Structure formats: structure tokens, C-alpha cells
């Protein structure tokens, strides 16, 4: 006989997220960096929490695999130490904060989005897209989240997709520059251009400077949606967590622009959370598609078979998928511009 226990897990899923988000807001894991231990009694001074809330929070974080018991206190697990301590290279807290502050409450109205097919985090009547804003708070929050997700995803991409023969990479909609930074770190012979809106390029340029890669990574301001094409002079065009934001005709047009911009033998790389061919999962890709309903006008997550068909229609050959495990993508679909 089946039991409703799995359904209870779905019902209470937000409990886990909000507990996690509260711990990040309190900077719990940063305070415990380097192997420090905190007891319930010490949490009053460290976190400003009374006894009962401190006990409940520490116990819950341990149950989620974020803390582990050590003597009469708690310390970071390896996962928390690596990804939830501010200042660490792959700090993931930006994504947690963004979802907590910007998307959590709009998700409460998901039924409205399903009925109207309109985004809930911005108003299409006043903006061209969710990216068309100069609001400093939104920019800091969104691009901090994207950097958190993208930097480790780029590391996984670099390990699984062979770019060793490439010299010039164009990161279309490169945002905060995380992909360009991580790929150039791992491939000394690679240089890159981040192509994005002017106010976004300013953010990328700052991150590139902080990474000490200003001599190898440039930024070029432009709008890949309204322009006539993409900048030339690159042998790889990368769409990293970009195409899920847009509808099928837009993506087909972008892939045609990539084909035109590449030399013979050049490659296009699409890094995404890919659906399987029969559209039954995986859950991370399917639920990201639901999030596109909340945050975009036409976006959704696609299968590698759909991307392969669009690449073939644009003229690419040698189309194949490479699978990997990362927070922002589970694989990459690659196509090659043929010679002659």
C-alpha cells in the first residue's frame, strides 16, 4: 500500500528552505568557519537568539546536513564550510538570499501565474524584461545570486567539456562574469569576452578585476535580443543558463546568430538544467521551468533533444550532450560549425 509520507515531504518543503535562509541571514555558517563550535547556550551571544529558538535552529540545521554535532555543540559540515562561508571562492549564500527576498513571496501566487501566463517578480507593462533595470538593490541581489550559482557550475563545465583547443570565448549574456572567470582560471590559453547590457558589464568588469584577469577577459556592452548579431572573433560561443529565459523563436534566432559569428570549426556550448526527452524530469530542471513562469514572459526549461534540433536547424553538426552535476546546470549541448 502506498503512504502519503512523500506528499508530506512536498507539503513541508518550504520549512527546510526558510530554516536554511534564516541561518544564512544570521551568518551562522560564516561565524562557525574554520572548525568553530557553537553550543545552544553560546548562541544567545553569538546569534542573538534566546535558548529555545537557538536549540530549534541548530537542531534543524543538523537535520538538513548543514551542521554536525561535536561534543556539546555544533559545527559546520563539509558542505556548509565549503559553500556557506562568506569569502570562500564558491560561496552559495547569494542564491539563498535572492530566492528568500525576491522569489519566495511571488511563488505564493503561482496559481495566478499559471492562469495568466505572466511573470510575478516584475511588470511587463513597465519593463522590457526582468534584466532591464538599473535598480541597484535588485542588481546586487540578482547578480550576487547568479554568481553564487554560476561559479561552481562553470567549474563543472570546465571539467567535463573539453575546451583545451579554444582560444577566444564569447559568453553571451555573461552577467557577473562567473563563467568567463572560472573557465579562464582553468584554461591558461583561453581569453574571453562577456557580452551583456551596459549596467551588467560594469558588474562583470568589477568581478574580473577582483579575480586579477583583466588582461584576459573583456566586456562588450550590447543587447543580444535586439542587435543584428553577436560579436565575431571567437571560436566558442557560450550560452550559460541563458536560453531557459526565452521562448523557442528567440532561442532559434540566438543560435543562428551564434552560427554566423563563429568561424568554421567553432563551437557553441549550451549549459543548462536539461529536461529528459519525454519531459518527466529531472525535478531540478522541471521546477526551474516553473520558476521561469514566475520570473519570465516566455522562458521554460528545454530538453537536450530540443536544443539539438535547433542547433541542427541553424547549421551545426557534431551535436552531442555532455552530462555533469552542478547547481545551475546538469549538462551541456555542443554543436560545431562545419568547414566548407
DSSP 8-state symbol, 296: -
Mean pLDDT (the chain) is: 94
Reported confidence tier of residue 97, pLDDT bands at 50, 70, 90: very high
DSSP 8-state symbol, 243: G
CA distances from 313 to 5, 256, 302, 309 (A): 46, 8, 16, 6
Structural domains present in the chain: 5-83 (1.10.10.10), 93-336 (3.40.50.150)
DSSP 8-state symbol, 103: I
Span 81-110, mean pLDDT?
95
Kindly report whether the global pTM for this prediction surpasses the value 0.95.
Answer: no
Convert the pLDDT of each residue in 127-167 to its tens digit. 777 666 656 676 677 778 888 899 999 999 999 999 989 99
pLDDT at residue 315 in the model: 98
DSSP 8-state symbol, 329: -
Give the N- to C-terminal CA distance of the chain in Å, as an integer.
62
Query: CA 330, CA 160: separation in Å to the nearest integer?
Result: 11
Query: CA 5, CA 270: separation in Å to the nearest integer?
Result: 37
pLDDT at residue 292 in the model: 97
Reported confidence tier of residue 229, pLDDT bands at 50, 70, 90: confident
- Residues labelled catalytic: 244
pLDDT at residue 134 in the model: 53
> CA quadruple 222, 223, 227, 232: dihedral positive or negative?
positive
Query: CA 78, CA 23: separation in Å to the nearest integer?
Result: 16
Convert the pLDDT of each residue in 52-93 to its tens digit. 999 999 999 999 999 999 999 999 999 999 999 999 999 999
Amino acid at each position: 500500500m502506498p503512504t502519503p509520507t512523500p506528499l508530506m515531504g512536498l507539503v513541508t518543503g518550504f520549512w527546510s528552505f526558510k530554516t536554511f535562509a534564516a541561518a544564512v541571514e544570521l551568518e551562522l555558517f560564516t561565524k562557525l568557519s574554520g572548525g568553530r563550535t557553537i553550543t545552544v547556550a553560546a548562541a544567545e551571544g553569538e546569534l542573538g537568539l534566546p535558548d529555545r529558538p537557538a536549540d530549534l535552529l541548530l537542531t534543524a540545521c543538523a537535520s538538513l546536513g548543514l551542521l554536525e554535532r561535536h561534543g556539546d555543540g555544533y559545527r559546520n559540515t563539509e558542505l556548509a564550510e565549503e559553500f556557506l562561508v562568506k569569502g570562500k571562492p564558491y560561496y552559495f549564500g547569494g542564491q539563498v538570499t535572492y530566492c528568500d527576498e525576491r522569489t519566495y513571496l511571488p511563488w505564493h501566487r503561482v496559481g495566478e501565474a499559471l492562469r495568466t501566463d505572466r511573470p510575478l517578480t516584475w511588470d511587463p507593462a513597465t519593463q522590457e524584461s526582468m534584466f532591464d533595470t538599473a535598480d541597484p538593490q535588485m542588481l546586487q541581489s540578482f547578480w550576487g545570486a547568479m554568481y553564487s550559482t554560476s561559479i561552481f557550475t562553470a567549474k563543472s563545465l570546465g571539467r567535463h567539456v573539453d575546451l583545451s583547443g579554444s582560444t577566444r570565448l564569447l559568453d553571451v549574456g555573461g552577467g557577473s562574469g562567473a563563467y568567463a572567470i572560472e573557465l579562464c582560471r582553468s584554461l591558461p590559453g583561453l581569453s574571453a569576452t562577456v557580452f551583456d547590457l551596459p549596467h551588467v558589464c560594469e558588474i562583470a568588469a568589477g568581478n574580473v578585476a577582483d579575480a586579477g584577469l583583466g588582461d584576459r577577459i573583456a566586456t562588450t556592452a550590447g543587447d543580444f535580443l535586439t542587435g543584428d548579431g553577436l560579436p565575431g572573433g571567437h571560436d566558442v560561443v557560450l550560452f550559460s543558463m541563458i536560453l531557459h529565459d526565452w521562448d523557442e523563436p528567440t532561442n532559434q534566432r540566438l543560435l543562428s546568430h551564434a552560427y554566423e559569428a563563429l568561424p568554421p570549426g567553432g563551437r557553441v556550448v549550451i549549459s543548462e538544467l536539461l529536461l529528459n526527452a519525454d519531459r518527466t524530469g529531472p525535478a531540478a530542471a522541471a521546477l526551474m521551468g516553473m520558476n521561469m513562469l514566475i520570473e519570465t514572459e516566455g522562458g521554460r526549461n528545454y530538453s537536450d533533444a530540443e536544443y539539438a534540433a535547433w542547433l541542427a536547424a541553424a547549421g551545426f553538426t557534431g551535436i552531442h550532450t555532455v552530462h555533469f552535476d552542478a547547481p545551475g546546470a546538469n549538462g551541456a549541448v555542443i554543436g560545431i560549425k562545419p568547414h566548407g
